[in-house]
Structure 1
Amino acid sequence: MLDEGIFIKGNKEGIVALINMDKFKDFDEMLEKLLERLSSGKQFYTGATLTLIADLRHINDKQMRRLKDVLFDEIMIKDCIFQEKEEKESKTFTGVYEGRTKFIRKTVRGGQSINYLGNIVIIGDINNGAEVSAAGNIIVLGSIKGQVRAGINGNKKSVIAAFSLQPELLSIADLITISPEGDKPTYPEVAKIKDGEIVVEPYLPNKYISTWRD
């Protein structure tokens, strides 16, 4: 039960472990409890993919690597995916949640690749040929001209926002689209999933709403 800090269930992709970090005094106690819970069903979990959903502000990169190593060795899982637990929505963009956020104060140039398990905020541009992927949201205080992927762990509430949205490729969760031809808007836009498709909405009021299709 989640009241005990950990709730585990199976799905078609593997195992999902929902972690309430507030129930544990530290990371070590949580890891010990998680191992205890998984060990009891080890025969079912061996070779499976584990999706761990938690408030990632309480788990740093070193601890994530350690958790993966321990689960690979002790439970023999195939893969471990970290997903941010959804919290209170931001008033600015629908689908933006509090959590681990990586700030990048420079332009991401062609040939560069950035991947992060939380949200990414870039103060600069994403140039053609650059790739940026996040488990959460991607917010760019500049232009997007490269490839951007939000919600890479399947979070369909993730968004991609930029002052100028002209990507080579844009993906949210399992949906992919490209920038349409024609004149580019001169105002900030937000891309999100609505009714099973990626739609692009202006951040400024009283502007049109467009739908991008392959």
Structure 2
Amino acid sequence: MPVVETAPRKFHLSVGVAALALSSVALAGCTADSTSREQRSDSYSGATSVTLDFDDAGAKQFGVTIAALSAQVIGSDRDDIEIRRTFEFTDGDKPDERIDTDGSGLMISASCPDRFAVGNPTCVARYEIAVPYGTVVQGNSKFGDLTVTDTRAAVDLNSRYGDVTLVAGPGGYAVDAVSGTGTSTVEVPQDPAGIPVRLRSGDGAVSATTDPR
């Protein structure tokens, strides 16, 4: 009899502790399902390189996180760099952004808040970046897709789960493209002495083409 009485008491105590812990997390970071949207743009002059540093691991939560920081960089005959971005986020999950420039280089850093949340937190940022021809581009992301189109300069892109794409302009390219589990496609003029391109993805597709697919 004592054994039978003791087991239920331990069970009820565990449930009470778990309920209290869950309640505390919910009060600390409850996330509503409604999503906000924000757009803005700005310009920078003098930079000859762009570095993207995206930390989109997402919040720690009970539920499903939608987190992805993606960028498309497009070369053109222009003098400045224009950054256009669209943010989509639930309350408390807005992407954090920081832009640093030292005159010759422009770094765009973005991250999703690292917090406990209950529900379906959303932290999404989509960047469209117009750069002058000859701008060197380097980018890192975890879930987001990274695309560079006709910048006519060195490219180095890496995404753990997202797709990585180069849409090449004229000229030859020295392409090093590898995907861990996804497809890898190289359809550009290969030249060991050409424009250096390094493309990496763990699970996403990797491609270097002349066709904007």
- TM-score range normalised by the length of the shorter chain: 0.3 to 0.5
Q: TM-score, normalised by structure 2?
A: 0.33
Higher helix share: 1
Q: TM-score, normalised by structure 1?
A: 0.33
The structure whose Rg is larger is 2
